[in-house]
Amino acid sequence: MSVRRVGSAILGRVVALLMAWVWFALGLAIWLLLAHQTRIGLVLASTVLFGSLAILYTHFALWWKRSLAWSGLLGLITAVSLLLLVPLIPSGQPAAHSPISHQFVGNGRTFPRWSLVNNIIPEAEQLNLGFRLMPYVDALFTHEQAAVLRPATAAIYAEIEQDPHFSELGSAMGWAYNEPIGRPFDVGHYYLYLPQQAQEDDTPLPAIVFLHGSGGNFLAYSWILAKVAEQEGFIVVAPSFGFGNWLREGGSTAARRALADAQTKANIDPQRIYLMGLSNGGLGVSVVGHEAAEEFAGLIFVSPVMATHITDSPAFLEQWRGRPVLIISGETDDRVPAAYVRQRISHLEAGGVALTSHIYPAQDHFLFFYAEEQLRADLVAWLTAVDGP
């Protein structure tokens, strides 16, 4: 086979692969155009749509020897859309007085502004697509749940889009996606939220260390906890650890490392630090709450998966006897059944833990989004009781 034929074969494969990607991008752009939830999503969809059409038309025009005039027009529209898109892309670096920020533990990293999944595709749009696809790959995630969860999270992200500080953050989800494809995901990232009180004086403040659940460190979590932080004068430290498998090697280290780093950047009262976990984050609370029990004033489990080999152990019960623990879960949770949670509650109470528990009627595993107001009210009431008004 001649060099020319080999080159033609390779070029043909490259073109075929490129066309496959273009068709995929076109389909995704059409869906995003119809289902977008954010301004960036709309402009991004338009940019990709016209860009894909420009490439496809050019390809077929060259094949059929047609005029490229339409290619030029589509390219011009794409360029205009791109010029509109670029200023909308979050910098990842809110203003100096912003209460919320990306932080990285000691390795000099900066936020990747031009990362497609970290920043260019809005987190709200990623979740919207994810919730539409999950019922097809997760037997416990129903279409009915997705139909309720999409508007619930859309409302939260609509609030975020209107906030000049949170909206400038972008997303940390790219690092979560790295884990299943074998790329580095533990980059030392965490969100740090400083309430107004922390910016007004140097008084040491209590802190919540929040461990996210399966799927990644959604910005919506910090948005919801920020409301508690402002009401109670708490600092929030929310580390990212891939998809949220906190039992994986490095999970405990990531949580404790983020807290230690935050203590160098914020005036945290070391006697008033509370460890909180959602869903799989409960595994992290189990481990870290055992390994470093003396560092925390209380534990909070929400819709929790718990490492029962730890939380049921005599050593854990001895560490937390007479000390405050809060458990919140849903009666209709099919991922962490209420019966399982009640068993954990009974065991901890029998071990002498100062336990407060709430099982929300008619709420499932996603009560963090569905029952935000009730969740915040119960968190505030508990924190007020154990930490003082």
Residue 205: left (phi > 0), alpha (psi -120 to 50), or beta? Answer: beta
Domains recognised in the chain with CATH numbers: 3-88 (no CATH), 100-387 (3.40.50.1820)
Measure the CA–CA gap between 145 and 332, rounded to whole angstroms. Answer: 12
pLDDT at 235: 97
Measure the CA–CA gap between 54 and 76, rounded to whole angstroms. Answer: 9
Residue 5: left (phi > 0), alpha (psi -120 to 50), or beta? Answer: alpha
Query: In this predicted structure, which of 5-19, 93-107, 145-159 has the lowest mean pLDDT?
Result: 5-19
**What is the C-alpha radius of gyration for the chain, rounded to an integer number of angstroms?**
24
Count of CA atoms in the C-beta half-sphere (13 A) of 209: 31
pLDDT digits (tens, 9 = 90+) for 240-252: 999 999 999 999 9
Residue that the structure tokens 């009401």 belong to: 231
State the burial class of residue 359 (Cβ atoms within 10 Å of its Cβ: 0-12, 13-18, 19+).
middle
pLDDT at 351: 96
Supply the pTM of this predicted model.
0.93
Q: How many residues does the chain have?
A: 389
What mean pLDDT, rounded, does the chain reach? Answer: 92
Q: Are 274 and 208 spatial neighbours (Cβ–Cβ below 8 Å)?
A: yes
pLDDT digits (tens, 9 = 90+) for 23-54: 999 999 999 999 999 999 999 999 999 999 99
Stretch 50-72: mean pLDDT: 84
Residue 91 above 70 pLDDT? Answer: yes
